């Protein structure tokens, strides 16, 4: 055999060896995945999602088609499909969403995509117009500063005049309410460690709700307060001495201690407590039902129902399309509302639907109204006055501007930076991922065991891989959890700045 005739055989042999090595490197091979029981199942095709694992090696997993307005664009083992993206402001759809492909958007005429943020912005005006705009803005700013200086000077002179007639007897306001309460009181845990708590007289509707339902909250959460206390401590919502004292007491007494502390600190701490209750509501069924009937979002919409009806009635199609694109209403309700010619009647139907469904759905309506607030005069100003809505919108605005695929790629490209920022202490993050149902009980236990056997770096990487495997929607929730834990992981600030 000549060298020239032996060359093709050698190449074939090399290719076979490479394929064999690649196959050996994968336990189940391409197109398959390994279940928790160690069975190799065939992946679900694009346009479907996994319903159930297969029972034997090489078999197909039980798959089903993605529901309406959702998609999966690749073979997968995900347990749910991703919601179809909706084009943002200044964009139009080029390709509509299908079972195996997300919506493809492009900037409308006169708009240009910004390279850093990916948002469609108006094209740059001509240099002369730019200079004119800058000069106009500068003159306005200088005029405003001049007026501000004149105002402050006049106010200072008036304050000096008023101080001549001030009397010390103005300090007796609310004396009857205050005379039996100490301004500062001591709290002592079982380790005899004292800390001081400042009392405040501020009272809000949220504080009133907590006070009036204190016994119920104690009973609902006191059965197992661990998730509640872990959430408060993980986000530094209460001082460590208060947390430790509550852990030492246990049961209803621990809940009572936390409630008393937040009430004593005033409105701001009661708002934080309410947000914490909302975050762990799914851990306590009775608490969830109570918030559904008495939550801030539901109260806000009920109080403003008549005004909202007037605002939306001007042109209901904007909020209807927004709710439909986000999957907040069914096709039947969308069709019914769209067929109503009277705008007030259509608005009344929508508001009644969300009010009847409770606080969680009312909050979704508020976020949808935020997205189209410029279409309805009056809505924007009202939303800006809802403090709880700003508190619940903790994730940076940029997270809401990008697609789930973009956020998933962010994790892929910045994996090393994420690992370095997180692996010092996984406890706060694992707690948040568990509370938000991003990771299951088994996954959390698996990460903790790997941490004990192989160290922080390997455990952190495995945790990130588990999150990625849960699907695109969980990836966004993962970023939101990271945003909430910035104080626990200071290095995350640098990562968010790169957005």
Cα–Cα dist 300/169, whole Å: 39
Statement to judge: residues 448 and 414 lie in one domain: yes
Statement to judge: residues 493 and 410 lie in one domain: yes
List the single range of 228-237, 368-377, 379-388, 437-446 with lowest mean pLDDT: 228-237
pLDDT of 173 > 50? The answer is no
Q: Which residues contact 358 (CB under 8 A, 6 or more apart)?
A: 292, 293, 295, 298
CATH of the domain at 275: 1.10.533
User: What pLDDT score was predicted for residue 196?
Assistant: 36
Model confidence pLDDT, tens digit, residues 336-370: 998 998 999 999 999 999 999 998 889 889 888 88
Q: How confident is residue 256, by pLDDT bands cut at 50, 70 and 90?
A: very high
Model confidence pLDDT, tens digit, residues 367-382: 888 888 888 988 988 9
Model confidence pLDDT, tens digit, residues 310-344: 999 989 999 998 888 767 888 889 999 989 989 99
Which element (helix H / strand E) includes 421?
helix 415-422
Model confidence pLDDT, tens digit, residues 271-295: 888 888 887 887 888 888 888 888 8
User: What is the pLDDT averaged over residues 164-192?
Assistant: 36
Domain that holds residue 427: 398-497
Is residue 334 situated within a structural domain? yes
User: What pLDDT score was predicted for residue 253?
Assistant: 92
User: What pLDDT score was predicted for residue 171?
Assistant: 34
Cα–Cα dist 311/303, whole Å: 14
User: What is the pLDDT averaged over residues 199-216?
Assistant: 73
User: What pLDDT score was predicted for residue 291?
Assistant: 87
Percent of the chain with pLDDT over 90: 11
Is residue 128 situated within a structural domain? no
List the single range of 7-21, 105-119, 431-445 with lowest mean pLDDT: 7-21
User: What pLDDT score was predicted for residue 352?
Assistant: 93
User: What pLDDT score was predicted for residue 109?
Assistant: 80
pLDDT of 406 > 50? The answer is yes
User: What pLDDT score was predicted for residue 159?
Assistant: 43
Cα–Cα dist 262/239, whole Å: 11
The SS3 of residue 188 is: strand
Instruction: Please work out, in degrees rounded to the nearest 5, the angle formed at the alpha carbon of residue 380 by the alpha carbons of 376 and 386.
Output: 135
CATH of the domain at 31: 2.10.50.10
Q: Which of 393, 420, 443 is the last residue of a domain?
A: 393
On the CB side of 450, CA atoms within 13 Å amount to 17
pTM above 0.75, yes or no: no
pLDDT of 458 > 60? The answer is yes
Model confidence pLDDT, tens digit, residues 128-140: 455 566 667 777 8
Statement to judge: residues 202 and 265 lie in one domain: yes
Statement to judge: residues 413 and 385 lie in one domain: no
Query: Taking the mean position of all CA atoms in its chain, how far away is CA 210?
Result: 24
- Would you state the structure tokens that stand for residue 162, as one six-digit string? 């008023």
Cβ 444 vs Cβ 430: under 8 Å: yes
Is residue 173 situated within a structural domain? no
Q: Which of 279, 310, 338 is the last residue of a domain?
A: 279
CB atoms within 10 A of CB 39: 18
Statement to judge: residues 402 and 492 lie in one domain: yes
User: What pLDDT score was predicted for residue 118?
Assistant: 64
What's the structural domain count of the chain?
A: 4
Is residue 131 situated within a structural domain? no
Q: Which of 352, 369, 393 is the last residue of a domain?
A: 393
Label residues 322-359 b or e (16+ Cβ within 10 Å = b). bbbbbebbeeebeeebeeeeebeebbbebbebbbeebb
Statement to judge: residues 403 and 492 lie in one domain: yes
Percent of the chain with pLDDT over 70: 77
User: What pLDDT score was predicted for residue 348?
Assistant: 93
Is residue 2 situated within a structural domain? no
Q: How confident is residue 189, by pLDDT bands cut at 50, 70 and 90?
A: very low
User: What pLDDT score was predicted for residue 117?
Assistant: 58
- Residue identified by tokens 């009344």 is 348
Q: How far is CA 263 from CA 75, 111, 196, 247, 388, in A?
A: 52, 50, 14, 19, 17
Statement to judge: residues 315 and 388 lie in one domain: yes
Model confidence pLDDT, tens digit, residues 26-76: 578 888 898 988 899 989 988 888 988 898 888 888 888 888 888 888 889
* DSSP calls for 235-263: TT-S-HHHHHHHHHH-HHHHHHHHHHHHH
Statement to judge: residues 302 and 384 lie in one domain: yes
User: What pLDDT score was predicted for residue 414?
Assistant: 75
Statement to judge: residues 383 and 408 lie in one domain: no
Statement to judge: residues 380 and 404 lie in one domain: no
- Residue identified by tokens 């008393």 is 260
pLDDT of 185 > 80? The answer is no
Statement to judge: residues 463 and 375 lie in one domain: no
Q: How confident is residue 154, by pLDDT bands cut at 50, 70 and 90?
A: low
Rg over alpha carbons for the chain, rounded to the nearest Å, is 29
List the single range of 360-369, 382-391, 459-468 with lowest mean pLDDT: 382-391
Q: Which of 115-119, 184-188, 194-198, 430-434 has the highest mean pLDDT?
A: 430-434
Cβ 297 vs Cβ 388: under 8 Å: yes
Mean pLDDT, the chain, as a whole number?
76
Cα–Cα dist 102/84, whole Å: 6
User: What is the pLDDT averaged over residues 191-215?
Assistant: 61
319 conformational bin, left if phi > 0, alpha if psi -120 to 50, beta if neither: alpha
Statement to judge: residues 344 and 410 lie in one domain: no
């Amino acid at each position: 055999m000549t060298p020239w005739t032996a060359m093709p055989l050698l190449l074939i042999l090399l290719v076979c060896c490479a394929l064999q090595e690649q196959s050996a490197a994968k336990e189940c091979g391409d197109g398959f995945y390994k279940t928790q029981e160690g069975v190799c199942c065939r992946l679900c095709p694009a346009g479907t999602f996994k319903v159930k694992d297969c029972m034997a090696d090489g078999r197909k997993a039980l798959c089903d088609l993605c529901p309406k307005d959702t998609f999966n664009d690749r073979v997968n083992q995900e347990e749910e499909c991703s919601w179809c993206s909706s084009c943002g402001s200044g964009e139009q759809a080029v390709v509509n969403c299908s079972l195996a492909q997300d919506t493809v958007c492009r900037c409308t005429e006169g708009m240009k995509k910004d390279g850093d943020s990916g948002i469609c912005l108006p094209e740059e005006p001509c240099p002369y117009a730019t200079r004119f705009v800058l000069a106009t803005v500068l003159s306005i700013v200088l005029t405003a500063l001049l007026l501000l200086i004149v105002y402050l000077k006049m106010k200072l002179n008036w304050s000096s005049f008023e101080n001549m007639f001030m009397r010390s007897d103005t300090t007796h306001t609310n004396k009857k309410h205050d005379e039996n309460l100490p301004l500062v009181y001591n709290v002592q845990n079982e380790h005899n460690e004292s800390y001081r708590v400042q009392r405040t007289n501020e009272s809000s509707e949220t504080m009133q709700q907590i006070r009036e339902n204190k016994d119920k909250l104690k009973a609902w959460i006191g059965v197992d307060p661990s998730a509640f206390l872990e959430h408060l401590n993980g986000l530094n919502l209460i001082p460590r001495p208060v947390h430790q004292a509550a852990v030492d007491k246990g049961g209803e007494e621990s809940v009572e201690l936390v409630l008393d502390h937040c009430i004593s600190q005033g409105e701001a701490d009661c708002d934080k407590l309410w947000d914490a209750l909302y975050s762990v509501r799914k851990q306590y069924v009775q608490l969830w039902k109570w918030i559904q009937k008495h939550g801030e979002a539901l109260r806000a919409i009920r109080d403003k129902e008549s005004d909202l009806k007037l605002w939306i009635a001007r042109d209901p199609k904007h909020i209807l399309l927004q709710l439909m694109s986000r999957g907040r209403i069914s096709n039947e309700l969308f069709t019914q509302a769209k067929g109503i010619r009277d705008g007030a009647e259509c608005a009344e139907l929508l508001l009644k639907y969300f009010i009847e469904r409770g606080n969680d759905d009312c909050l979704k309506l508020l976020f949808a109204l935020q997205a189209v607030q410029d279409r309805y005069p009056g809505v924007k100003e009202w939303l800006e006055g809802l403090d709880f809505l700003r508190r619940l919108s903790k994730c940076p605005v940029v997270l809401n501007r990008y697609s789930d695929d973009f956020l998933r790629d962010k994790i892929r490209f910045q994996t090393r930076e994420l690992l370095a920022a997180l692996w010092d202490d996984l406890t706060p993050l694992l707690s948040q991922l568990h509370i938000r149902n991003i990771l299951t009980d088994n996954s959390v236990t698996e990460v903790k065991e790997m941490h004990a056997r192989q160290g922080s770096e390997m455990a952190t990487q495995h945790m990130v891989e588990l999150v990625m495997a849960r699907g695109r929607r969980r990836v966004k929730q993962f970023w939101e959890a990271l945003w909430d834990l910035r104080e626990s992981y200071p290095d995350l600030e640098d990562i968010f700045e790169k957005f």
